[in-house]
Every structure is written in C-alpha cells, then in structure tokens.
DNA sequence: TAAGATTGACTCTTCAATCTTC
DNA sequence: GAAGATTGAAGAGTCAATCTTA
C-alpha cells in the first residue's frame, strides 16, 4: 500500500478548510489529532515490517518486553493489560498466540486461583532481545527529528496523556 | 475498557529500562514512538465515542469530509485513498457502508470506465456537518494543551510526516 | 457479589487474487 | 500489460456474555 508523496500536505489542506468554514477555534486541535493519527499509521507500518520476520506484532512484542523487564520474568495477565492500556481480551489473544509460538508459558497464579501468570521462556527472552536490536537500529534510532526535538515531542505528548488520565 | 490512572507513567518506565539496558541512543525514539501510539489510542477512543451516535467511524467520517470539501461533492475512489493514505480496499469498504446508509452515492466516472466516483447525498452533507459540530465541541476544541503548544506539536509531527515521505 | 480470564460476534484493516477497462 | 476497483481471507482490536474463583 505504498504511495508516492503528495504534492501538498493533506492535513494542511484540511486545516485550511476548517478555518474557512468558521471552525477556526477547532482547527488547531483537528490538525494535531489528525497528525497523531497519521504519524501513528507511519510508525505502525515501520514497526510491523521490522517485526514480521520475527513472527511478532507490536502488541505481542510489548507483552514480551513487559515480561523481560519484570523482576521474575512473569506477570498476571490483568497487570499487563493495565500497563499496556489494552482490553483484557487483547491480552488473552496476544498471550495465546505467544504461547503457541513457545515464547511464553501460562502458569496458575499461586496467590489467586482466578488469575493466570504469563512467564517468558528462554526462547521468548532471546527473541525479545533480537527483535529489540532490530527495532532500535531500524526504527527507534532513525526517527527523523533533530535530537533536541525528541524530548520536546515526548514532553508535549506526555502532557496530553496525563490530561487524558493515563497516569497521575 | 476504562482504567484507573496508573501511579507512574508506563512509558517513562519503559524509557528508563531502555537506558539501563545499554540502549540509551534508542531510548528517546522508543519513547516518542510509544507515546504517539498511546495518544492515538486515546484520541481514537474519544472520536469513536462522539461519532457512534451518528453511526460513523473515523474512517467513514474522513471520507464524508473529503467529499464535503471537494469542488463538486464527488471524487474518484482512488483519489480518496491517496489523500487519506489508506488501502484501496479500505476505501471500497467505507464507501460501501456509507452508500448503504444513504450518505453517498456511487457514480460511474465519465472520464474513465474503470473508475468509480463517490458523491455526497443531501443526507450525507447534513450528517457530515452535524458530526463535525460535535467533534469540534467535544474533541478538537478540548485538546488539553496550552494554545501556543498546539502549533508546536503540529510542526514537529509534520516534520516526521514529511521525513516519512508523506508529501513533498 | 465482584474480579480475572476467556469466548464468540462484530468491525476495521491489509493483502493477494480477480475482473474490467484503459 | 497496466490501472482502478472489488472480493475473500486473515489478523488484531473491542464489546458483551459467560465461567470460575474470591
């Protein structure tokens, strides 16, 4: 689904339309929201391409990394859903697939019979590290902004997330 | 799928993990990418909630707005895919659904027998304007950033989009 | 009764293959 | 043969309903 670059920025055009329809006060917000949607789409495509050879999606990669960074290499599914801010059903989905691929194991939670733990296997640990190496090199280190502007975007997006009640 | 706010910012935590695993140079990019993904998720949820009563998704709303802003109120499907940066199949999907709902009409393209035009109906035009009023009020005008910071984010995201080859 | 997890239905997206027209 | 659009299949996400345990 690759496209040639457009001669004009379609989001600039949309913002101008908003301004000329009497929606001046909403135009900047519309522009920012639409830009976030589009940048996410670009990032998601890049990440998906890098992760495909590993048999991973971004959601499943995030589950692996959460486990990699955890003290014992295991976490309750509910905790993972909270940290990743996704629906419980999405966690179940990702965990099931990762388990089929032998990257994690499901264990009963000794302290709560209702709960399940996901635990990283040795194979999962190795894959998480390899995939991270690729992502670091091909995506994260290549984000096309002057180095001093990255913390700026980060801070602005963080303000948006905090305002939305993501964290306190 | 609503969640209570977390006591710490999970993205801050991930960035710190990156730094302490010898991936310092990739940490800022990882933080920005992850933040964009999360802010997109928040925005998408807000937009979906506002559009639900109108029977619209964001993708279908974007199609309506593209037609609303076009000279004749009609555009070839391929052109819409380019402007919205989505797969042709997504356009077909959205257009089919909008047509079922009586918001647009499919017409043959007089200048190319392979191509189809989508044309806004009166009903579609009214709905597009109503939905925009709601989005302006409940989402776009309420984006939680000091007014002078919106153009800043916009500019930074635009630099990212340009670097990705979105437009020239 | 409530909480954790799972299931099945539904939506949206992309991809590959196909059909028609240029 | 190439381009525009469509179709069917597969993947991922949410939601509502359900099952089990606390």
Residue B145 dihedral angles phi and psi, to the nearest 5°: -140, 145
Work out the average pLDDT over B30-55. 93
What does the block give as tokens for A50? 């890098």
Helices B58-68 & B88-100 angle (0-180, nearest 10)? 80
Could you check: is the Cβ of residue A121 within 7 Å of any atom of nucleic acid strand C? no
Is the Cβ pair A14, B65 closer than 8 Å?
yes
- pLDDT tens-digit series, residues B118-140: 999 999 999 999 999 999 999 99
Work out the average pLDDT over B141-145. 87
Average pLDDT score, chain B? 93
Work out the average pLDDT over B92-108. 96
- A 10 A CB-CB count for A142 gives 12
Collapsing DSSP to helix, strand or coil, A120 comes out as strand
- State how far residue B45 is from chain A, nearest Cα, in angstroms: 11
A160 reaches B (C-beta below 8 A): yes
Residues in A closer than 8 angstroms to B12, CB to CB, are 158
User: How many angstroms separate the CA atoms of A133 and A31, rounded?
Assistant: 34
Residues 6+ apart with CB under 8 A from A42: B160, B161, B164, B166
Confidence of residue B1 (pLDDT cuts 50, 70, 90): low
Residue B12 dihedral angles phi and psi, to the nearest 5°: -55, -45
What does the block give as tokens for B138? 């409940």
For residue B103, is pLDDT > 80?
yes
**Order of strands across the sheet that contains A116-120:** A74-76, A116-120, A104-108
Please give the radius of gyration of chain A, using alpha carbons only, rounded to the nearest integer.
20
Residue B90 dihedral angles phi and psi, to the nearest 5°: -70, -40
Residues in A closer than 8 angstroms to B6, CB to CB, are 82-83, 166-168
Pairing of strands B74-76, B104-108: unpaired
What does the block give as tokens for B95? 């257009």
The rounded Cα A133 to chain-centroid distance in angstroms is 16
Residue B117 dihedral angles phi and psi, to the nearest 5°: -105, 145
First-to-last alpha carbon distance for chain B, in angstroms, is 39
Of A20 and B145, more confident: A20
Confidence of residue B166 (pLDDT cuts 50, 70, 90): confident
The rounded Cα A164 to chain-centroid distance in angstroms is 17
Is the Cβ pair B87, A58 closer than 8 Å?
no
Q: What is the DSSP letter of A165?
A: T
Question: Helical H runs in B9-144?
Answer: 10-19, 27-51, 58-68, 77-84, 88-100, 122-138
pLDDT less than 70: residues of chain A: 1
First-to-last alpha carbon distance for chain A, in angstroms, is 39
* Residue count (chain B): 168
């Amino acid at each position: 689904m690759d496209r040639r670059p457009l001669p004009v920025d379609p989001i600039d055009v949309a913002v101008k339309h908003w301004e000329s329809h009497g929606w001046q006060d909403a135009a900047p917000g519309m522009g920012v929201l639409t830009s976030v949607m589009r940048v996410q789409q670009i990032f998601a495509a890049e990440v998906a391409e890098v992760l495909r050879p590993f048999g991973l999606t971004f959601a499943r990669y995030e589950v692996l990394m959460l486990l990699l960074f955890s003290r014992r290499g295991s976490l309750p599914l509910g905790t993972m859903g909270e940290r990743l801010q996704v629906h419980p059903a999405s966690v179940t989905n990702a965990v099931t697939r990762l388990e089929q691929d032998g990257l994690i194991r499901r264990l009963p939670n000794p302290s709560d019979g209702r709960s399940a733990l996901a635990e990283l296997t040795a194979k999962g640990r190795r894959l998480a590290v390899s995939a991270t190496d690729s992502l670091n090199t091909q995506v994260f280190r290549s984000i096309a902004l002057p180095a001093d502007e990255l913390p700026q975007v980060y801070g602005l997006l963080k303000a948006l997330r905090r305002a939305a009640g993501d964290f306190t």
